[in-house]
Structure 1
Amino acid sequence: MEKKSLLGTDVVAQIGIIVKDIEKTSKTFAEFFGVDVPSVDWTDEFDKAQTHYKGKPVKSRAKLAFFEMGNIQLELIEPDEHPSTWREFLENHGEGVHHIAFVVNGMKQIIANMENQNMPLVQTGEYEGGRYAYMDSFDQLKVILELLEND
């Protein structure tokens, strides 16, 4: 009997890493891998991002830098001071791997299925061309899963 992924995919799209100093860490990654230092950009403000953390609208933002590493993207994330999954991770765990992301179809149903497996929705938001959801799968999988759904 063939087992089916709860996500509908097993292809990792991204690994997200929380950092305290994105400029310094981006430079270090770029030197290590012999690539250009990527641009560092802020996530959108609430009016566009519609960020919700633990069910409540929040002003949280983060600086992001992306490294395209063949078939996977490394995302560096430096959170601002407002409540978010990023800020909570930094305060509780320090710097390190925050999430593994998967591109999915039918995000609402996948969120419901994951919540039925005791993996609650933690944070959602919009980005240019899609949306994201962070699921607290830490107890079961030892890492947060991010769902990405593109238009």
Structure 2
Amino acid sequence: MEHIENRNLVKIGIVVGDIEAAAKHYAELFGMEMPKIRIPDLNRVPEHKESGYTWYRGKFIPGRVKLANMQMGPVTVELLEAYDEPGPWNEYKVQYGQGVHFITFTISGFEQHIDFVESKGFPLTHKGEYGSGRYCYFDSIEKLGVTLGLQELGKPKDTPVMPKEERA
């Protein structure tokens, strides 16, 4: 592999302090319906298995965040309100406050792309599987100015997808 296969930006993730207020402002500014805000069940204990897990900096985490998706042409703008618990969104909130946290590209060949991006000096920090797809983030803010995200949709094309240290 010589480069990431797709240059079509599909998602921008924005960490916000108050998702209800931010979503309302976007809806009013762009004349669109208020997006549905997904709020996780804070009492649910996640089961980390091949078909669904959230891994962050070497540990499985609940991976909870309030989120709202808005389709803006070919790009999805994802608003994220972080909980005060370990995770990429809270880490961003603590370090930078509100702002653009990640940009995501859809790829095919999830594990091969992770290996490629890591070989270019961008360590994997976050990885999740949610049944119909998988996504990951890399430590890239210092070099790219934003967290690089990759996602693969559909049935996994390469197995296993769990973090390497958890496969043994």
TM-score, normalised via structure 2 length = 0.83
Equivalent residues in 2 for 1:88-127 (5 A)? Answer: 88-127=91-130
Counterpart Cα distance in 2 of 1:76 and 1:66: 6
Q: CA RMSD in A?
A: 1.7
Counterpart Cα distance in 2 of 1:138 and 1:43: 27
Aligned residues: 148
Provide structure 1 residue ranges, at least 5 long, that are not aligned to the other structure: none
Counterpart Cα distance in 2 of 1:30 and 1:128: 29
Match of residue 143 from structure 2? 140
- Pairing 1:12–2:9 present: yes
CA-to-aligned-CA distance 1:19-66 (integer Å, 9 cap, x gap):
111011000010010000110113586326411110211123001100
**Aligned residues: percent identity?**
38
SS at match of 1:74: strand
TM-score, normalised via structure 1 length = 0.91
SS at match of 1:37: coil
Selected match of 1:86 from 85, 89, 101: 89
Provide structure 2 residue ranges, at least 5 long, that are not aligned to the other structure: 155-168
Match of residue 47 from structure 1? 47
Q: Are the counterparts in 1 of residues 53 and 130 from structure 2 also a CA contact under 8 Å?
A: no
